[in-house]
Structure 1
Amino acid sequence: MKATLIQLNVGEPKEYVWKDQVEQSAIGKSKVAEVYLSKAGFASDGVANTKAHGGPDRAVCLYPYEHYTLWEKEFGQRLSIPAFGENITTVGMTEKEMYIGDVVQLGEAVIEVTQGRVPCSTISKHNGINPLLNRIVETSLTGYFFRVIEEGNILADAKIKLLDRVQENYSILRGNQILFHEQENIAAIEEMLQLKALSDEWRGRFNKILAR
């Protein structure tokens, strides 16, 4: 895996006015040169809705820089990093390239891929592009999350290294496709539920699908 950290971003919840409604969100993160990563997440970083966001399984959010060009071309609008509220913007770590359970060294920290991101309307509101959320779901280019295995300090020029890959059947892209577009694929869902690294949130979503 040849990956590069493009930008490191953190931010606490702030108040926004979208379509004449006041909302709290932490999507508006800012570039930092250095930050400590604990198992709870980055220092000086937070979420507004703790029921829908955050937690140990979603301590680090990544969005691939490769997708910026795609969305900018499609919508004719410049997107400034971190347009998707991600903590780390990278090259060489797209949803197709990364698998649930992958263990990665990021600076001093060690992190593990747990699930794809389940995006919400905040992404569209923040960027002023109404169709963006639907297009992210349609394409499964959502970004994804990690849990923290080993805490440590991260610099903006931190090296990224793949330490372990436990399976190659379910990339983040494949998992997204199953969750969003192939809920009738019971065999694949049952296989995904066997993945030890799978987040509790995705585990709950897949179990609800099976229960139906």
Structure 2
Amino acid sequence: MTAFLVSELRIGQIRPLGPNGVASGIFKHPVTGGVMAQTLGLQGDAQGDTRHHGGPDKAIHAYAACNYPRWATDLPDLMPHFTPGAFGENLVVQGADEADIALGDQWQIGDALLEVSQGRQPCWRLNLRFGRPDMAARVQGTGRTGWYFRVLQAGMIAAGDTATLKLRPHPDWTITRVSDLLYQDCLNTEALAAFAALPGLTESWRMLAQTRLSTGTVESWSRRIETPA
């Protein structure tokens, strides 16, 4: 798979989320025309928690459109919610999912050159978004996380652009495989060592893998996926 379609491009500003009005940038609206992709993301886009969201390694979030009907099958009571933008994505992708995208992939989209940096690590804001206390855990468990791009070359991108693969240095390290290592086969030492040695891996993931290798334990996910009281 060497190409996919960006069927929608979405940006959003910070709005209150959930009963306590948590600041969040998860609400994204579709944009027609070109938008500049820069080091910190799409022009006009914002994140509510810049400690854990955004930044150069999480500049643009992409999500596979084929995941929406999968969610609707799993959770039919929430079917109306599973539409483009449901997960706070910037790019709605047609023709590829997490099994088709690998860490380090470089994709030309419009005038911009983007590089796949990591998969999304779902957080409890998804629980508020969908009104389910286990939604973040479900996203993590299914591997339907989407993925992040860093921006190697700034440029204009737009809905309707075709993404073209320019470089694939780590074809074996798909987002699906990484999710399996991080959340299923968590203490596979051989895989963790290979993962930690990948050139271009985000430092947070390298440290995570190295910590598992040195301690023989898996970090707690509760603060990330469980909604605060």
Band the TM-score falls in, shorter-chain normalisation: over 0.9
Matched position secondary structure for 2:7: strand
1:128-207 to 2 correspondences below 5 Å: 128-207=131-210
Q: SS in structure 2 opposite 1:105?
A: strand
Structure 1 residue 123 displacement after superposition: 1.5
Distance (Å, rounded) in 2 between the aligned partners of 1:146 and 1:49: 18
Match of 1:3 in 2: 4
Contact 2:102 2:173 in 1 (8 A): yes
Contact conserved, 1:113 with 1:197, CA < 8 A, in 2? Answer: no
Shift of 1:155: 1.6
The gaps in structure 1 that reach 5 residues or longer are: none
What does residue 41 of structure 2 align with? Answer: 41
Corresponding residue SS for 2:21: strand
TM-superposed deviation, 1:211: 2.9
In structure 1, the partner of 2:24 is 25
Q: Secondary structure at the match of 1:97?
A: coil
Equivalents in 1 of 2:107, 2:122: separation in Å?
A: 23
Note the 1:96-135 alignment, pairs <5 A.
Answer: 96-135=99-138
CA root-mean-square deviation = 1.3
Deviation at 1:168, TM superposition (A): 1.9
Alpha-carbon separation, structure 1, partners of 2:210 and 2:51: 18
The C-alpha deviation readout for 1:48-76, integer Å capped at 9, x for no partner, is 11111111011111111010000012211
Could you give the per-residue CA deviations for residues 122-158 of structure 1, whole angstroms, max 9, x where no partner exists? 1121123443322211111111111111000112121
- Secondary structure, aligned partner of 1:21: coil
The secondary structure found in structure 1 opposite 2:171 is coil
Give CA-to-partner distance per residue, 1:74-114, whole Å, 9 cap, x none.
21112231000011010122111111111000111000111
> Aligned residue pairs: how many?
210
> How far, CA to CA, are the matches of 1:117 and 1:175 in structure 2?
11
Residue in structure 2 matched with residue 95 of structure 1 by the alignment: 98
1:2-52: per-residue Cα shift (whole Å, max 9, x none)? 311111001121122x2x322000000110112111111111111111111
Q: What residue is the counterpart of 1:51 in the other structure?
A: 51
Q: Distance in 1 between matches of 2:5 and 2:139?
A: 23
Once residues 60 and 125 of structure 1 are traced to their aligned partners in structure 2, the CA distance between those partners, rounded to angstroms, is 22
Q: Please tell me the residue identity of whatever aligns with 2:102.
A: Y
The residue type paired with residue 5 of structure 1 is V
Calculate the TM-score normalised by the size of structure 2. 0.87
The whole-number CA distance in structure 2 between the counterparts of 1:145 and 1:168 is: 17
The percentage of aligned residue pairs carrying the same residue is 29
Compute the TM-score of the two structures, normalised by the length of structure 1.
0.94
Question: What's 2:67 paired with?
Answer: 67
Supply the AA of the counterpart residue of 1:45.
D
Residues 26 and 85 in structure 1, CA contact (< 8 A), matched pair in contact too = yes
